[in-house]
Amino acid sequence: MMTNQLFPPFANEPFTDFSQEDNKKAMQSALAAVRASLGQHYPLRIDGKAVETDGRITSINPAKKDEVVGTVGKASRELAEEAMQSALAAFELWKKVPAEERAGYLVKAAELMRSRKHEFSAWMVLEAGKNWGEADADTAEAIDFLEYYAREMIKLSETNERQPLVKLAGEDNKLTYIPLGVGVVIPPWNFPLAICAGMTSAALVAGNTVVLKPASTTPVIAYKFYELMVEAGVPANVIQYLPGSGGEIGDYLTGHPKTRFISFTGSKEVGLHINKLAAEQAESQIWMKRVIAEMGGKDGIVVDETADLEAAADAIVASAFGFQGQKCSAGSRAVIVESVYDKVVSMVEERTKKLVMGLPEDNAPVGPVIDETSYNRILGYIEKGRKEGRLLAGGGKGLDGGYFIEPTVFADAAPDAVIMQEEIFGPVLALAKASDWQEAIAIYNNTEFGLTGAFFSGNEQRIQTALETMHCGNLYINRKCTGALVGVHPFGGFNMSGTDSKAGGHDYLLLFTQAKLTSRRIG
């Protein structure tokens, strides 16, 4: 039997240094191999079997709109029901598999992914529009989730030894954590491997089975993940691969009486819709469904006059425009105290204008946004920004042939401006002025979201106040507000940013389990 001692201590997967020629050539080779595989069709996977459908979803390269990455099957409600019944049957066997064995499958999957790291990254370059560094970080995070949750499950299975109950003479009392049942996992397109792997593997290693409904813009990388898990030894019917319409199969599965939990990452609007559907008791439903939701944010960076202004400007630009601002942690606003406002604004403008736009496969710093819907929505916000602020950089469309938008900065935005309040999820940054650092924090807190934030200051007393009063799930001091690492920065937010799920943290697996106390009289 595998024990925790057989696992080396968890360590984050290193990022690839693409300045080294060998790594650069390896990535180029992976891109060439993946490009040679474009255009294939990937069926649904129900009960471990390939299922063909009349409907199809086409995945395209957002940097080259005429390039088809692949097609996947599109499930109907009838097929969703088949997937649910298969997952229910699989659960009866999977829940009995020892935790050590389930953890072993995750470690094996991490090993396989590590051996094909550039291949998985290359799929994201072409399907999600990530440059090499962003794709490599996504793959590294996926490996981290697999390794981390494997170890956490071992710890959780030994809870009675690690966190012993109070002893009572004449009784043997034990607290164990058992799986919930069938879960619907709905990952986002912006971290199509890492978050998909994290949400799915956490559910599986805890003993649940999963109906996986990937994002319609990035379904191919999700299929590759499904294949990897089966290759690692996970029974093929423990994960049902089920692309399809959110309004059709997503709602159907969320409302299904046998669904035990819904794990979702995406927009506030969809998250609230899922929560509302899940709260209704369906006929024959005998539990309250659990919703584990991460719903984005309107994240920001606060800069006071004692801060290292160069470092603050670097962080503002990196947080705003990494992966074209398409991160739930992206710093889409910055609040700067009046005495250094003009200086920081000038630095941000200068840095933004130096960003180079190009193809993700060429590792350009700025690539496309994900699809036409996002493209049009972001351009609409830019038009609002022209009325609400002073345009400093960008504001226009980018390269032809893809969904490119220039990194855009608006200065002098009012705290209640639309571009300061609503999640844009694109390369748009709003800058606001505050009279002092306390007002800056108040402006930062003036939002319905609460995911990430950063405070730049050289004053320890102010830092202590910021730590207490800036209301978000992940607060960073004197560094950017993106780039959470598994095990280092458990990730999840407050308010309309979701259920503070703290992915990559010690308590995450508790969300996929339920505690059972057993008490036996002895003697």
Q: Is 395 helix (H, G, I), strand (E, B) or coil?
A: coil
Residue 3's pLDDT is what?
43
Query: Which position among 294, 305, 388, 406 bears the catalytic label?
Result: 294
Q: Which tokens in the block code for residue 69?
A: 């990455």
Q: pTM score, two decimals?
A: 0.97
- How far is the C-alpha of 185 from the C-alpha of 196, rounded, in Å? 8
pLDDT digits (tens, 9 = 90+) for 449-506: 999 999 999 999 999 999 999 999 999 999 999 999 999 999 999 999 999 999 999 9
- How far is the C-alpha of 499 from the C-alpha of 514, rounded, in Å? 17
Task: Please give the average per-residue pLDDT across 49-63, as a whole number.
Answer: 97
Query: Which position among 147, 305, 328, 361 bears the catalytic label?
Result: 328
Residue 6's pLDDT is what?
67
Q: Is 294 a catalytic residue?
A: yes
Q: Roughly how many angstroms between the first and final C-alpha of the chain, as a whole number? A: 30
Residue 163's pLDDT is what?
74
- How far is the C-alpha of 380 from the C-alpha of 386, rounded, in Å? 10
Neighbours of 465 (CB within 10 A): 16
Q: Is 328 a catalytic residue?
A: yes
pLDDT digits (tens, 9 = 90+) for 187-202: 999 999 999 999 999 9
Which domains does the chain possess? 25-295+500-519 (3.40.605.10), 299-486 (3.40.309.10)
Q: Which of 316, 289, 329, 296 is nearest to 141 (CA)?
A: 329
- 334 has which bridge partners? 301, 431
Report the mean per-residue pLDDT for the chain. Answer: 97
Q: Which of 233, 145, 230, 126 is nearest to 187 (CA)?
A: 145
Instruction: Grade residue 159 by pLDDT with cuts at 50, 70 and 90.
Output: confident
386-413 CB burial, b ≥16 within 10 A, e <16? eebbeebbbbeebbeebbbbbbbbbbeb
pLDDT digits (tens, 9 = 90+) for 292-331: 999 999 999 999 999 999 999 999 999 999 999 999 999 9
pLDDT value at 5 more than 70: no
